[in-house]
Chain A
Amino acid sequence: MFDSDFLLWIIMNFRNRNFELDDNFRILKLSDLSTAGDERGDYIGRKISTEKSINVSQSIPMLFTLLSGREPIYCKFAFIIDDYSGTIKISNDGKISILHSFGILKLVSPIERIIISLHFVLRLVDLYEKWKNLELNLKYPSREDFLNIIHDCREMGMRFYDIQDIIEKYRRKRKNSV
């Protein structure tokens, strides 16, 4: 298993614009996140996932789940490692999926794909080792990190979407229906 807090560390680093997680290991985009936790008697639900967000570390629904105490169970991000680009999904059950449809892996032969993928895996394992040995105040999020989440949620959540379009859309549907 990858510790959920390792995934949280990646998310918080991305939120704080520390994109360079390790030497020549840079996160470009954090698109998917799933969190889960015990039932807490709230309405969020046990497991929540967001896919294909332009930045899931700023996704209000996901931030709410983190504040509620739910923990990351998987995340997917695009990266550049030693000048090779790729997309990877890591889960807290230890599973690592490397996508072939993005970056360098789309362009190369099967054996190159294997070697480059293995290189990604080794870099990730190495990063995980480094994370395990981090000082505790760097390993886990700070009070400020969570206050920032609340700040961001307030800022984004207070905004009302322009609902003219959706009203118009359904107004048209209602009119067109028999």
Chain B
Amino acid sequence: MNKNTSEIILKGRFIIQKIYQIKISKEIDKDELFEIFKKKLPEFKRGNPEEEGFGFKIIEIKKVPDKFLKDPLLLDIFKNLIIIEFQKEKYPEIIIDYKDNKPIYGKKFPILDTNHIFIILPNYMIFKGSQSNLEFIESYVFNAMKSILTKREIKNV
């Protein structure tokens, strides 16, 4: 397995924030788009409280679940799906030391926010996860698609 890809682990509820209808300029297939994202989206790098780490991972699912083979609707989505995972560090203020029995607060250890972007070729792009990093993620993903994207329109408006 490519070090860039892995099976997906989903936690929590399935919350969709935004749905785009997209159009891609030329006949670009899933594999090509896959390569574009792998080349243009930065991989995750650890950061620090001053510079929070973030990054993307393209998730590849190798094995088709048996159930999909029986249902063309689901198989169709599966075949045309690219999943991108985005993670960003956040450093909450915690107690890092004590002085004269009084706590000293600071930022030391990160927690990770995770979002997923589902691209269902040829027309849909669905953003899942919390709202907080949405604009940041959009700017990266749409920038990566700059040369091939001819139209994008928010659909849940």
Contact = CB atoms under 8 A, between A and B. Distances in A.
A147 interface: no
Q: Chain A: interface secondary structure? A: helix
Interface string B45-77: 000000000000000010001011000011001
Contacts of A128: 155-156
Given A112-B65, A125-B156, A94 B10 contact: no
A94 B157 contact: yes
A129 B118 CA distance: 20
Interface in A96-118: 96-100, 108-118
Interface of B: 7-10, 13-19, 61, 65, 67-68, 73-74, 77-78, 81, 83, 118, 120, 124, 126, 154-157
A112 B67 contact: yes
A95 B15 contact: yes
Nearest to A109: B65
B157 A118 contact: no
A118 B126 contact: yes
Contacts of B8: 110-111, 114
Interface size class of A (residues with CB under 8 A): 20 to 34
A78 to B, nearest CB: 15
A94 B18 contact: yes
11 contacts: A2-B156, A82-B73, A99-B14, A111-B7, A112-B74, A113-B14, A114-B8, A115-B77, A118-B120, A125-B155, A128-B156
Lowest 8 CB-CB distances: which A-B pairs, in order?
A: A98-B14, A94-B156, A96-B16, A110-B10, A117-B14, A97-B15, A115-B74, A125-B155
B13 A99 contact: yes
B54 to A, nearest CB: 22
A102 B89 CA distance: 32
Contacts of B73: 82, 119
Contacts of B17: 94-95
B118 A114 contact: yes
A44 interface: no
